Amino acid sequence: DIQMTQSPSSLSASIGDRVTITCRASQGISNSLAWYQQKPGKAPKLLLSAASRLESGVPSRFSGRTSGTDYTLTISSLQPEDFATYYCQQYYSTPQTFGQGTKVEIK
């Protein structure tokens, strides 16, 4: 199975900060990566697919990049509604696997 190592596990940031979350795949996954946002007590919401393709309705402050086997999710200017836990997921091969999650908290 492909392992997805997500970092950091948590971070504290202020409104307006630039935030970056990284997922490293244990092998090449050819940009077959999705990012989800999960707020407490809610279902995950798909933010990006194919590493950098923004889903309809997702604000443009969210973006994704690839560097080798490292995939990053960036929030360019953190907003109050962005405080949540973020998960990456590879779908290059089955079983599809998730990162451990990154909790973004208010500083």
Partner 1 sequence: EVQLVESGGGVVRPGGSLRLSCAASGFTFDDYGMSWVRQAPGKGLEWVSAINWNGAYTHYADSVRGRFTISRDNAKNSLYLQMHSLRAEDTALYYCARVLVFSTSQGYYFDYWGQGTLVTVSS
Binding segment for partner 1 (CB under 8 A), chosen from 10-18, 30-38, 57-65, 66-74, is 30-38
Of the residues 3, 46, 59, 105, which one makes contact with partner 1 according to CB under 8 A:
46
With CA atoms as reference, report the closest residue to 67 among 20, 14, 104: 20
In this structure, the dihedral spanned by the alpha carbons of residues 8, 12, 17 and 21, taken in order and rounded to 10 degrees, is 10
Of the residues 16, 43, 80, 81, which one makes contact with partner 1 according to CB under 8 A:
43
Strands 53-54 and 62-67: unpaired
Binding segment for partner 1 (CB under 8 A), chosen from 10-18, 57-65, 72-80, 84-92, is 84-92
